[in-house]
Structure 1
Amino acid sequence: MAVRAAEEELTYGELDLLVHAHAERLAFHRVRVLASLMSNGTEWIINDLACLKAGVVHVPLPLFFTPQQWHHTLKAAGVDSVLSPPSMQAMLGSFDFQPIDTFSETLALFRQPAQISLPADTAKITFTSGSTGSPKGVCLGARAMLEVAGSVANATQTLRIRRHLTTLPLPILLENIAGVYVPLIQGAAITTTSPGKTGLQGSSCFDPVLFHATLTDTGAQSVIVLPQMLRAYSAWVRATGARVPSEIRYVAVGGAAVGAQLLMDARAQGIPAYEGYGLSEACSVQTLNLPGADCPGSAGRPLPHTQLRIAADGEIEVAGSHALGYLGEPFARRHWLPTGDLGYLDEAGFLHIQGRKKNVLVTGFGRNVSPEWIELHLTGFAAIAHAVVLGEGEPALGAVIWPRGEVNDETIEACVARVNQALPDYARLGRWTRARGEFSAATGLATANGRPCRQAIAGLHADLFPAISAQPLL
């Protein structure tokens, strides 16, 4: 079996026939750049594979994007065709797309004249919301994507995974590469359903009860989750005494920093969680922890397709399967690609991520501090859902904290005190405050994929630091 979904099951032979027919239909309509606005399911997978087969550039758009973001991405990518539910006709009509064909009861093809110059061999354009919420398109080639997928498949083959459950939206490159291409390369089955049925609502809300039920019902042996999903599921298992399904062999955690404490807490509950690291500009996964090759708190060792080195300023650089370029921007191809992340390789070859280079704070005493380092310590406590550390130019750092549930100030203060005990003096928190809003896209304090909007958070909590925060040097 190749694909399992609520509506059907497809063997590898049946999948191949459907992909071939779909590719011919795209060729008949002379589709060049196709955007998809589709939920997880067999039709998404068929369309994605058909685009590869037909040489059509696929622009998979997340359903959690706003209409304004959809409009921006359609224009930026020079999309000439959109495959989506017929119910989106009014919105797409406002973008000048008109229906030209019905692909199924649930999918229609919309068209408008468009032309754009893309890097040669572009097969997919993946959009990320970025740190500002403005989607940025990364052009990827088929060879590079499949090279990464093959590398992950080889690295995980000893786990003998036969059933993978897709939990993230398939337009997310991590799930597309590791949750679709990897199982197909391994001859395994993909179980796919809407992210809502696996507990993920939009991009930033998660229900561990639904996740557990689907994990149990499908007999999944592997899943990919985000750190917040793992944190919520581990806490729910601990609180309820529920048993993690014995079938699950590998829970890959990526998309953001994880931290050793969260991994160890999850494993104590029977969740086989392992952290990895990647970036869209290098076709997703670059490093991975695996059973027998594991260092909790690290992002794992480099996979066969990639090389890593650390620049003089501590920035991680990768060589291997790079993107072809950015939409609308010149992209100088180079052997070593700067990632924008700071880190180091330990003696055993494991990569440790220390934070984003652009987020580094320089304290009033001239010490460089990665805020993510401290934030991981804070969110390692069950009482703290989100935290952002601020303090550029200040004598002491401060934190904006969003607690999980009803938590009193004394509990938060105790968490901060314990974190400070584990930190060197220059990285300790001198003050903290409760966030005035949840870190979400709705409040403007986070992007659609959950990254904190640090500038907005700092502006809303400007009173965290006194207007004049100089202190005498004694």
Structure 2
Amino acid sequence: MTYTFQQLAEQFADRPAITDGDLQLSYQQLYERVQALSETFSALQLRSIALHGGNSIDWVVVDLACQQANIVLQPLPPFFSLSQIDACLEQAGSQLLLSEDAGLASKLQQTVSLMSSQIARYHAVSITPKKPAQLPQGTAKITFTSGSTGNPKGVCLTTEHQWRVAQSLATVTALNQPKHLALLPLSTLLENIAGVYSPLLCGGMVIVPSEQQRGMLGSSKLDHKALLACISQWQPNSIIMIPQLLLLLVNACLQGWQPPASLQFVAVGGGKVSPTMLAQAHQLGLPVYEGYGLSECGSVVALNTSTQQVDGSVGQVLPHCQVNVVNNEVVVSGACHLGYAGVPSSWYPQQVHTGDLGQCRNGWLWINGRSKNLLISSFGRNISPEWVESEIMAEPFMRQCMVLGDAEPYLSAIVSCSELVDNVQLASYMARVNQQLPDYAQVWHWLRVSPAQLAPFTTANGRLKRDAILSAFADQIAALYHGESAAS
């Protein structure tokens, strides 16, 4: 069934639908705002809108209004760099940009004009696309991955696909009128679908505190005290977490913090989750359940729940999709995106080859690792090490570089450079490189080694033997994350 928010507003009319702490709207009140904005968008004859901002009631209103008006929406993460935003706008052929950043228009290398916005939070920028967008038919939302190479890929989804995933989640979690606290950015598809649509389908209330209230600074920085205070204040029934946030909660519990008794479901995904950490979370009374998915499949493919969970598994495959393992690779069908924006050769796939290695038995899915070198940070950011390495290697005095950080909160690197460069100069250079990268792709610590030390682990054509290096320098790498770093 394809849901519309109008149907939900009729069903749950006076129930509270959403709040930010200052304002609370019922389902009917939220629908009235959605309808009014939808009519404004339709009058402007817009085909494509980009939304750039943090979590708010207005963000949800714009999202639902675009669905109502059959306008393609491109949520843009606030932490994207200017070049990434520019690439997204071009891919999607955006005609209107709604942004909380008053200066963004002047920073973009486009011919733009400011216009009045019906929502005071946003600065509205009219954009003339450089060229017509190439989008598969039926595209309702383009969710941009963080871009493992720095160039975001626009995953095209239908409205029906998004709500189908939300309905599956509502069915398997079986939470009745949940109070959900949106901790992750709404521009993240997982929070958008599982944190907004799914609770609304259940007659629940969505809580959307600001970044400052949640302690979420950028894509990879946290104010621990603010985050814990936010959870304690709102007493939610459900939250969605990435591994780094789960680690924070576990450590807080060990130090005496008491999780709210209201908490019924903590979904964790977006990266590797330590089985030891999950076991510890359960011992501390945290109702944590691991899941798995990717944007190309509408975010969630499998999920453990309070009534159905298997240790070590990422969960049971959701009712709306099917999983097969072909040559050890997880392949998903029944939940396919429409393809990538601007890449017609990718359109209308029947299956999604995930690039993940795994097993599927009796509807339960296990993930064993990645088939490529892609790093997934504990914040859920997908990062190609080759991308960051190429930025670092742009200076001639650099000899070799290997970026690390899988399942870790930040990137580190093993580097070698000319002996004429001292550590102070190297630190200054790395700081300049970091300024050119989004915060989730910046290298925080590094281990400097000599070219001779890396020589045994280098192929004839200069490629580093990654697995051999990880083994040979295991102790030094561990120190980058759990001890004194070689540089900072």
TM-score over 0.5 for the pair:
yes
Q: Is the 8 A contact 1:60 1:125 kept in 2?
A: yes
Q: Residues 448 and 343 (structure 1 numbering): CA distance in 2 closer, same or farther, change over 3 Å?
A: farther
**How far 1:133 moved relative to its partner?**
2.2
**How far 1:458 moved relative to its partner?**
10
**How far 1:237 moved relative to its partner?**
2.2
Task: Say whether residues 1:95 and 2:95 are aligned partners.
Answer: no
Q: Residues 119 and 403 (structure 1 numbering): CA distance in 2 closer, same or farther, change over 3 Å?
A: closer
2:308 maps to 293
**How far 1:457 moved relative to its partner?**
9.9
1:153 maps to 170
Task: Say whether residues 1:202 and 2:203 are aligned partners.
Answer: no
Q: What amino acid is aligned across from residue 323 of structure 1 in structure 2?
A: H
Rounded to whole Å, the distance in 1 between the matches of 2:408 and 2:358 is: 29
Task: Say whether residues 1:467 and 2:484 are aligned partners.
Answer: no
Q: What amino acid is aligned across from residue 315 of structure 1 in structure 2?
A: E
2:69 maps to 54
Pairing 1:27-176 to 2, within 5 Å after superposition: 27-85=42-100, 87-88=102-103, 90-91=105-106, 94-114=109-129, 115-157=132-174, 159-176=175-192
Percentage identity across aligned positions?
34
Kindly report the root-mean-square deviation, in angstroms, between the aligned alpha carbons of the 2 structures.
Answer: 3.4
1:272 maps to 287
**How far 1:289 moved relative to its partner?**
0.4
1:217 maps to 233
Rounded to whole Å, the distance in 1 between the matches of 2:239 and 2:117 is: 33
Q: Residues 13 and 134 (structure 1 numbering): CA distance in 2 closer, same or farther, change over 3 Å?
A: same
Query: 1:395-433 deviations in whole A, cap 9, x for unaligned?
Result: xxx99689999xxxxxxxxxxxxxxxxxxxxxxxxxxxx
2:329 maps to 315
Q: What amino acid is aligned across from residue 213 of structure 1 in structure 2?
A: A
Q: Residues 233 and 441 (structure 1 numbering): CA distance in 2 closer, same or farther, change over 3 Å?
A: farther
Q: Which moved more, 1:328-337 or 1:171-180?
A: 328-337
Q: What amino acid is aligned across from residue 49 of structure 1 in structure 2?
A: L
**How far 1:333 moved relative to its partner?**
3.1
Rounded to whole Å, the distance in 2 between the matches of 1:230 and 1:60 is: 25
Name the SS for the 2:346 alignment partner: coil
Q: Residues 325 and 461 (structure 1 numbering): CA distance in 2 closer, same or farther, change over 3 Å?
A: farther
Among 346, 350, 354, the alignment partner of 2:368 is 354
Q: Is the 8 A contact 1:58 1:123 kept in 2?
A: yes
**How far 1:297 moved relative to its partner?**
2.4
Q: Residues 245 and 461 (structure 1 numbering): CA distance in 2 closer, same or farther, change over 3 Å?
A: farther
Q: What amino acid is aligned across from residue 140 of structure 1 in structure 2?
A: L
**How far 1:219 moved relative to its partner?**
1.4
Number of aligned residues: 402
Query: 1:50-82 deviations in whole A, cap 9, x for unaligned?
Result: 000000000010101111211111112111111
1:410 maps to none
2:251 maps to 235
Task: Say whether residues 1:183 and 2:199 are aligned partners.
Answer: yes
Q: What amino acid is aligned across from residue 455 of structure 2 in structure 1?
A: A
Q: Which moved more, 1:101-110 or 1:171-180?
A: 101-110
**How far 1:269 moved relative to its partner?**
2.3
Q: Is the 8 A contact 2:176 2:203 kept in 1?
A: no
Name the SS for the 1:228 alignment partner: helix
Q: What amino acid is aligned across from residue 205 of structure 2 in structure 1?
A: A
Name the SS for the 2:185 alignment partner: coil
**How far 1:153 moved relative to its partner?**
0.9
Rounded to whole Å, the distance in 1 between the matches of 2:216 and 2:277 is: 19
Q: Residues 202 and 399 (structure 1 numbering): CA distance in 2 closer, same or farther, change over 3 Å?
A: closer
Name the SS for the 1:358 alignment partner: coil
Q: Is the 8 A contact 1:129 1:448 kept in 2?
A: no
**How far 1:107 moved relative to its partner?**
2.1
- TM value normalised by structure 2: 0.75
**How far 1:349 moved relative to its partner?**
3.5
Q: Which moved more, 1:7-16 or 1:291-300?
A: 291-300
Q: Residues 445 and 244 (structure 1 numbering): CA distance in 2 closer, same or farther, change over 3 Å?
A: farther
Task: Say whether residues 1:255 and 2:243 are aligned partners.
Answer: no
Rounded to whole Å, the distance in 1 between the matches of 2:107 and 2:46 is: 17
Rounded to whole Å, the distance in 2 between the matches of 1:106 and 1:261 is: 43
**How far 1:120 moved relative to its partner?**
0.5
Rounded to whole Å, the distance in 1 between the matches of 2:164 and 2:445 is: 39
Task: Say whether residues 1:326 and 2:340 are aligned partners.
Answer: yes
2:389 maps to none
Q: Is the 8 A contact 1:131 1:447 kept in 2?
A: no
Q: Residues 339 and 445 (structure 1 numbering): CA distance in 2 closer, same or farther, change over 3 Å?
A: farther
Pairing 1:329-340 to 2, within 5 Å after superposition: 329=343, 330-340=345-355
Q: Residues 84 and 464 (structure 1 numbering): CA distance in 2 closer, same or farther, change over 3 Å?
A: farther
1:365 maps to none
Query: 1:73-123 deviations in whole A, cap 9, x for unaligned?
Result: 111211111112372364366532211222133223221223323110100
Q: Residues 230 and 403 (structure 1 numbering): CA distance in 2 closer, same or farther, change over 3 Å?
A: closer
Rounded to whole Å, the distance in 1 between the matches of 2:356 and 2:437 is: 19
**How far 1:222 moved relative to its partner?**
0.5
**How far 1:42 moved relative to its partner?**
0.5
Rounded to whole Å, the distance in 1 between the matches of 2:134 and 2:404 is: 44
Name the SS for the 2:172 alignment partner: helix
Q: What amino acid is aligned across from residue 256 of structure 2 in structure 1?
A: G
Query: 1:264-284 deviations in whole A, cap 9, x for unaligned?
Result: 122222221111011111111
Rounded to whole Å, the distance in 2 between the matches of 1:336 and 1:263 is: 31
Query: 1:169-218 deviations in whole A, cap 9, x for unaligned?
Result: 10100000100110111110000012332122111112332121111111
